[in-house]
Amino acid sequence: MTPTPSRRRGPGTLLLVVLGIAVLAGGMFAVFAVRHRDAQNALATTLIRASGIPADVSTPLANLMSLSPVPNTEAPGFNLVDQHGRTMSLQNLRGRVVVLEFMDPHCTDICPIVSQEFVDAYHDLGKTASRVAFVAVNVNQYFRTPAVLAQFSDEHGLDTIPSWQFGTGPVAALQSVWHDYGVEVAAPHPNADIVHSSLVYFIAPNGKERYLASPTDDHTKSGTAYLPAGQISSWGKGIALVARSLAG
């Protein structure tokens, strides 16, 4: 019996097979991509809460603030002068909660936003406000006079906070504070934008560091810094809640 010859596929048949495999592979890749995207989105919306966050601070609010506990160690001391030219030191603030930030008095980016959050926090504190001090250290080595700091404080309503102190001093003294608190500052020349870490430390009345938060902002297409009003007010509420928890 003569064996039946095998059928050989012509070029057209091979092309259809290849196209079919390509379509199948493309469909599988699309499904995988969608699943991968969905997994990423699910991960991004997962509420992760660091242990040790004050109970009154919700997980979404803690995540908004990037709030985390820090080792319960002595906050590095400093001696500077404030916006009124008066001596200021961390030691003199013992007995009160200190909310410490690092600001540039020429900043038009995140510093004005944080200023509004501080003002909101002061009002949210109510009767507890007298037990909390709002403090900033200058990060602009080219503009260090108390008058410059006073002008910034007035323009952004910070001087409506009775406990507000904006510290400055010799460059070496400022650099020492930046180093002690892990603040990076890039200031190549007086006309350049000051790029610096934006950190908020919460220091307990006993002088120990307790929490760290990281303010953020967004920018319009034209480059103007902003943060939705709801987030600014949420930040103010969060600062007040953390400070109140430390005030006891």
The per-residue pLDDT for range 82-92, each reduced to its tens digit, is: 999 999 999 99
The per-residue pLDDT for range 166-217, each reduced to its tens digit, is: 999 999 999 999 999 999 999 888 887 789 999 999 999 999 999 999 999 8
Cβ contacts of 141 within 8 Å, gap of 6 or more:
171, 174, 175, 185, 187
Predicted structure pTM score: 0.80
Start-end of H helices in 9-91: 11-45, 59-65
Which pLDDT value is given to residue 213? Answer: 98
* C-alpha dihedral sign at 11, 14, 19, 22: negative
- C-alpha to C-alpha distance for 74 and 78, rounded to whole angstroms: 12
Cβ contacts of 81 within 8 Å, gap of 6 or more:
87, 88, 146, 167, 168, 169
